């Protein structure tokens, strides 16, 4: 379990589209003691495009580079808990980001069922996310 307020990182990885490429990535991270906290990937235009969540994105980058696996970028993420009992939560937070001029570039879930967002304007996105969280939790 993560500590509240702990910064998390999305690591964008390019893998060859062949059997064993994902295994090699996972093995390289395992050898380095780096754990995947969430993410996913797809084949786009014949190449594996992966986005995985890490507590220490720079350690993940180092482990992957040592295995000659292409790391495209390491970026801080926004982590948000949506109310699963209220339909439309994703649309609501995405609309608030859009109104603030923030583009959501990557979206996925972590292993704790939280929404992970990689945005083009982190400071503005963080402000929207913090306001959303205050509203979700209500008055204290």
Work out whether strand 47-54 and strand 38-44 pair parallel, antiparallel, or are unpaired: antiparallel
Give me the domain span that covers residue 72: 9-76
Assign residue 94 the CATH number of its domain.
Answer: 3.30.70
Which tokens belong to 42?
């797809």
pLDDT digits (tens, 9 = 90+) for 97-128: 999 999 999 999 999 989 999 999 999 999 99
Stated pTM of the model: 0.88
Looking at the structure, tell me whether residues 84 and 104 fall in a common domain: yes
Looking at the structure, tell me whether residues 61 and 85 fall in a common domain: no
Domain end among 37, 59, 76? 76
Give the H/E segment covering residue 104: strand 104-109
In this prediction, residue 84 has a pLDDT band, given cuts at 50, 70 and 90, of confident
**Which 8-state DSSP code applies to residue 110?**
B
pLDDT higher than threshold 70 for residue 138 = no
Asked if residue 2 belongs to a domain, the reply is no
% of the chain exceeding 90 in pLDDT: 81
């Amino acid at each position: 379990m993560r500590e509240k307020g702990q910064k998390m990182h999305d690591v964008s990885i390019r893998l060859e589209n062949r059997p064993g490429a994902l295994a090699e990535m996972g093995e390289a991270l395992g050898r380095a003691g780096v754990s995947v906290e969430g993410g996913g990937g797809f084949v786009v235009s014949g190449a594996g495009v992966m986005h995985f969540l890490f507590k220490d994105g720079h350690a993940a980058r180092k482990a992957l580079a040592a295995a000659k696996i292409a790391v495209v970028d390491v970026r801080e993420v926004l982590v948000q808990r949506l109310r699963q009992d209220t339909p439309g939560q994703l649309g609501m937070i995405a609309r608030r980001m859009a109104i603030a001029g923030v583009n959501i570039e990557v979206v996925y879930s972590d292993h704790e069922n939280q929404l992970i967002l990689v945005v083009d304007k982190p400071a503005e996105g963080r402000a929207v996310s913090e306001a959303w969280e205050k509203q979700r939790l209500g008055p204290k």
